[in-house]
Amino acid sequence: MFEKIRSYLSLLRAEQILRRYWVVNSFDGILIVLGVLFGSRAAGVLDASSIIHITMAGAVAMFISGFFGCYLAEKAEREREVREFEGAILKKLDKSMIHDASTKVPLFIALVDGLSPLVSVIIIISPFFFSSIIGATLAFYISVILAVSLLFVLGCFLGKLSGTRILVGGLKMVLVALFVIALMLLFGLM
C-alpha cells in the first residue's frame, strides 16, 4: 500500500507539496499553541483541563479546515491537470494510473495538511495531561520548550532540505519563536 502511495506521489511530483504542507501547517499549529499558552497564562487560566480543551478544539478546527480546504483545492488542481493532459494526448485517462493517482493524491495531501498541526498541538500540550503530577506551571514551561524544540526540528529539516546549514535552519525557527514570545511580553500577554 505504501509503495503504491509513493508511486502515485512520484508520478504526480507531489512529494514537495507534502513536505511544504507538513512544515507550514506544523509551524502554524505550533505558533497558535504558543499564543494560547501565553494568552492563558496572562489571563491567569493555567488550568490543565481548560488548556487541553481550548487547544484541542483549535487543533480539531485546524484539522477540518486544513483537510477539507486542501482536499478541495488539490482535487480541483489534479482534475485540471488530467483534463489538460487528456487534451494534449487526445485520449481519455479514466482507467489509467494517472487518473487513479490524481484521485488519491489529493486525499494524501489533505491528510498531511490536516494532521500536521493536530500532531504538533498534541505533542506540545502533552505535559498538561500530567499536570496533576507535575503541576500546571511546570506543564506550561515544558510545553513551551516542546514548542520551541519542534520549531528547531522543523528548521533543521528545512536546512537539510535546502542543502544549507542544518543548525542555522533550526536556529532561524527558534528566533521566530523568541520573536513571538517577545511580542507577547510586549503586549502584556504573559
Separation of alpha carbons 105 and 99, rounded Å: 10
Query: pTM score, two decimals?
Result: 0.85
Does the residue 103 lie in any domain?
yes
Does the residue 187 lie in any domain?
no
Place of cell 488542481: 77
Domain that residue 121 falls in: 2-136
Does the residue 180 lie in any domain?
no
Does the residue 173 lie in any domain?
no
In sign, the C-alpha dihedral spanning 51, 57, 58, 60 is positive
Does the residue 51 lie in any domain?
yes
Number of domains in the chain: 1
- 187's enclosing H/E stretch is none
Across 46-50, 57-61, 105-109, 181-185, the highest mean pLDDT is recorded for 57-61
* Model confidence at 189: pLDDT above 60: no
Does the residue 82 lie in any domain?
yes
Q: Note the pLDDT tens digit of each residue in 72-84.
A: 998 888 788 778 7
Q: Note the pLDDT tens digit of each residue in 105-164.
A: 888 889 999 999 999 999 999 999 999 999 999 999 999 999 999 999 999 999 998 888
Nearest-CA neighbor of 178 among 75, 11, 186?
186
